[in-house]
Chains A and B, each alone.
Chain A
Amino acid sequence: DAKTTQPNSMESNEEEPVHLPCNHSTISGTDYIHWYRQLPSQGPEYVIHGLTSNVNNRMASLAIAEDRKSSTLILHRATLRDAAVYYCILRDYSGAGSYQLTFGKGTKLSVIP
């Protein structure tokens, strides 16, 4: 999987929007942009993914730059339950049959009451 760069940590006040950035300057045309999050003492959970267009679901929105070299995960109203490590991952099918889902260090989001 191609590499992504995220800030190590971010803070947000409760009930305010949060914008989590991710840079992926070496993204290829067939890479999907995925976001997962890991709450304390839990396994990662899927948040959202997209290819070129912005995406919305019940958890978050994903804004993808026109050149696809960066993206932003948007939590519209942060709650204390959103405190987690957020991972931005590029996911492609590599023709050898390997379909790894490679996690970087992610961004640790703290939500202040």
Chain B
Amino acid sequence: GAGVSQSPSNKVTEKGKDVELRCDPISGHTALYWYRQSLGQGLEFLIYFQGNSAPDKSGLPSDRFSAERTGGSVSTLTIQRTQQEDSAVYLCASSLTMGGGNTEAFFGQGTRLTVV
């Protein structure tokens, strides 16, 4: 596709279950970001991947959160033992290169996660 694709678009899960959220970045984009946005709040950075470098995990809120990026393309964000406070929209973005600040990021439409 032409843009960043995220799936599922909506996910309802029971408290304590694990969930996996998927992001397909734009082809050829080496940088990939995950953010989350709680209702009425701003975007909270979670994790960043750049090529084969070690990911920047500084934004992950707890060890229940993890992410991987296979083959430098598709990324999966996993939340284990979900809690109600994990309910939010999870957004993925990708960027063409890491060449300084002179690149723009493209966002997907997000996955709305509801933990009941």
Contacts and interface: CB of A to CB of B under 8 A. Distances in A.
A35 to B, nearest CB: 10
A104 B105 CA distance: 16
- The size bracket of the interface on B is 20 to 34
Interface string B55-76: 0101100000000000000000
B45 A99 contact: no
Interface of B: 4, 31, 33, 35, 42-43, 45, 48, 50, 53-54, 56, 58-59, 91, 93, 95, 98-102, 104-110
23 contacts: A34-B104, A42-B109, A43-B91, A43-B93, A44-B107, A45-B107, A46-B106, A49-B101, A49-B104, A91-B101, A92-B100, A93-B98, A93-B100, A97-B54, A97-B56, A98-B58, A99-B56, A100-B45, A100-B48, A101-B33, A102-B45, A103-B35, A105-B42
